[in-house]
Structure 1
Amino acid sequence: MAAPESVAGPAPAAGPRPLPEPLPASVPAAPPYPPPLPAYAPQAVARPGGVSPRVRVALRWTSVLLVFAVFGAGTAYAVTRPERTKIPGLKTPDDGRWRYPQVALPKLPARKPRPLDAALNPGGVHYADVRSLLLAPPGRAVNDPAFPGTTGWLTVAAFLKVRVGGGGSQQELFLKEQGLRHVAGRAWTMPDGTRTEVYLAQFISAGYATYYDQDADLKPIDGVTTDRLDTGLADRTVPRGVKVAGYDETAPYGDSMTRYAFLVAGDTVALVRQTRKGGEVPEQAFRQTVRLQAQLLG
């Protein structure tokens, strides 16, 4: 018996499948696949601003150091320009010393020893002109033209007037018999009224100079009634071999106060006298003057 036919009818014959209809123009085409990413390279990745954080930190510290360097250099320059006493916080108190020129010893003649060389110069002779050994006046000093300084010799009479009862032809003759050759002298006055007199009496040899010094210590200075020894005058700045004996006038002073000192160096006896009317002679200036003169004689 034949099979009944399907209700839907016979199966359609096999054939090619129809193509789909194209999409409307309003529908956008699908984007292509993105290209593959390159391999990760940290050094090639751009940083904000084009500079890495490490470089920015280094530049920042470099700028700070440059600012401090410029500031420090400017401060150092400013400090070196004005005088130290005019800089706030660095002002040095005035200790009473005077502004003396730098002490420089004169040149000795060829093959001549120094005066304190006991082995080569037993007589203690100053072969340099003793006038060149006079201490130069400090700044602001007014020179006394009555004293010849380096241009001549002081008279023996003027030198003897410094001592009590000094002067007279007999004493001049006595000094010459005691080996005195000549006397150099210089004097000046400072703005505060302090007057300084320096005498350099040169004898034939150190023996004659020592003998005169022993006699001089027993005779007072003109205008001084009582005095006391200045125990702090000689220090390590005084050359070895230079004898120093300083004295301070004790009160009452009268019209003026006096400080003085005898120095013996080889064949030369030096007398440094400072006086001041209406006030005391500055102690520090007196000691400074004596020590510098001692350095020139040594």
Structure 2
Amino acid sequence: MTDHATPPPPAPEAVAVPEDPAVPVVPEDPAVLAEQEARRTRRRKAAVRWSCAALVFALAGTGTALAVTAPERTDLPGLATASDGRYTFAPLTLPPLPAGKEAPDGKGRSPHHADLRYLLLPAPKEAGGSLTPPVFPAPTLGPTPSGSPTASPTPSASPTPSASATSLAPVSEFGQWAPCDAIAEEQQDAAKMRSLLLEDACRAATVREWTASDGTRTQIRLLRFGSFRESWDAFTALRGKANPKAAPDTRTTPHSDWDTVDGTIRTVMESTTAGPKGDPTARFAYVSASDILAVITMTNPSGVPTTPFRQVVTLQSDLLA
């Protein structure tokens, strides 16, 4: 007997289930459809409202950011940085040079040819100074050199600005000529200072003074000599032997952390008398810049803060460098 494989049984055919004629197809309720459509409409409107609200908030935030960042921080109430005592000066501007003359080489040896009055640091805003950069008159060679420390420039030798330049920037706004030995009257030993000026032949001198709103009085003198050697000799003698009336007892103070100004050398001193807050009542700086010697004096019975003094000395050095 032969064994045969039994084939699998055939799959049952799908039997269609006839629809029950007794169960009718109920159409959608119009009220339900209307409610669904109204719900979708409300959702779209809510999405539009939220999108508009987000856009408004974004625009408002951008506008606020621009309003805060566009002005200077100091112009915003509550955000102004506390003042550290620095003065507000107009942008520094170097005066023009006479035709054929060159600017100092930055090494502290070549002479200055610019009008000495225009190399003085201008008064700050806190002392009634203008914040507009100066407009300089036509450049000239300046006063005729003189070996006498008492000689002041004659009118014929002084720079004569044109009428239009004078109307824009009177010379008095820059500085004034002064006798060389005017500085001697500020020393306890005036005769010694006059002798020094005679020995080194001071050629011309200028002065600028102001009193700031904090009560600090500033005086800057520029003395021009015939050469770097003469200016350096006066500088070393003054910083080592000067005895100003404003501070009978002084001491040299370190300033190694100050900004370095190429072409200048300075010595900083202060009085041993201090004000209520501990600041010295007088500070001095002697700056050598080629043929020019700058003497900066700041006094205040309440004390001269370090920050404005350092600022004035540095900016005046920049103008001479």
Q: TM > 0.5 between the two?
A: yes
1:216 corresponds to: 238
Q: TM-score of the superposition, structure 1-length normalised?
A: 0.69
Q: Could you say if the C-alpha distance between residues 180 and 202 of structure 1 is closer, same or farther in structure 2, counting changes exceeding 3 Å?
A: same
After TM superposition, the structure 1 = structure 2 runs for residues 28-67 of structure 1, keeping only pairs within 5 Å, are 57=47, 59=48, 62-67=51-56
Q: TM-score of the superposition, structure 2-length normalised?
A: 0.64
1:285 aligns with 2:308: yes
Other structure's SS at 1:94 match: coil
Residues 208 and 221, structure 2, Cα contact 8 Å, conserved in 1: yes
Q: Could you say if the C-alpha distance between residues 55 and 284 of structure 1 is closer, same or farther in structure 2, counting changes exceeding 3 Å?
A: same
1:195 corresponds to: 217
Q: Could you say if the C-alpha distance between residues 136 and 261 of structure 1 is closer, same or farther in structure 2, counting changes exceeding 3 Å?
A: same
In structure 1, runs of 5+ residues without a counterpart are 1-45
Match for residue 262 of structure 1 among 267, 286, 304: 286
Match for residue 123 of structure 2 among 137, 144, 147: 137
Which 10-residue stretch deviates more, 92-101 or 151-160? Answer: 151-160
After TM superposition, the structure 1 = structure 2 runs for residues 1-298 of structure 1, keeping only pairs within 5 Å, are 57=47, 59=48, 62-79=51-68, 84-85=73-74, 87-118=76-107, 123-141=109-127, 150=174, 152-167=176-191, 172=194, 174-218=196-240, 219-232=242-255, 235-236=258-259, 238-251=260-273, 257-277=281-301, 279-298=302-321
Q: Could you say if the C-alpha distance between residues 234 and 267 of structure 1 is closer, same or farther in structure 2, counting changes exceeding 3 Å?
A: farther
- 1:276 CA displacement: 1.2
Q: Could you say if the C-alpha distance between residues 216 and 230 of structure 1 is closer, same or farther in structure 2, counting changes exceeding 3 Å?
A: same
In 1: Cα distance, 2:175 partner to 2:238 partner: 27
In structure 2, runs of 5+ residues without a counterpart are 1-35, 130-171
Q: Could you say if the C-alpha distance between residues 174 and 294 of structure 1 is closer, same or farther in structure 2, counting changes exceeding 3 Å?
A: closer
* Percent identity of equivalent pairs: 32
1:230-268 residue CA offsets vs partner (Å, 9 max, x unmatched): 3237622x4212112111211367xx9210100011110
In 2: Cα distance, 1:151 partner to 1:260 partner: 20
Other structure's SS at 1:217 match: helix
In 1: Cα distance, 2:231 partner to 2:203 partner: 11
In 2: Cα distance, 1:281 partner to 1:55 partner: 69
Q: Which amino acid aligns with 1:243?
A: I
Other structure's SS at 1:132 match: helix
Q: Could you say if the C-alpha distance between residues 85 and 128 of structure 1 is closer, same or farther in structure 2, counting changes exceeding 3 Å?
A: same
Residues 274 and 303, structure 2, Cα contact 8 Å, conserved in 1: no
1:43 corresponds to: none
User: Relative to total residues, which structure has the larger helix share, 1 or 2?
Assistant: 2
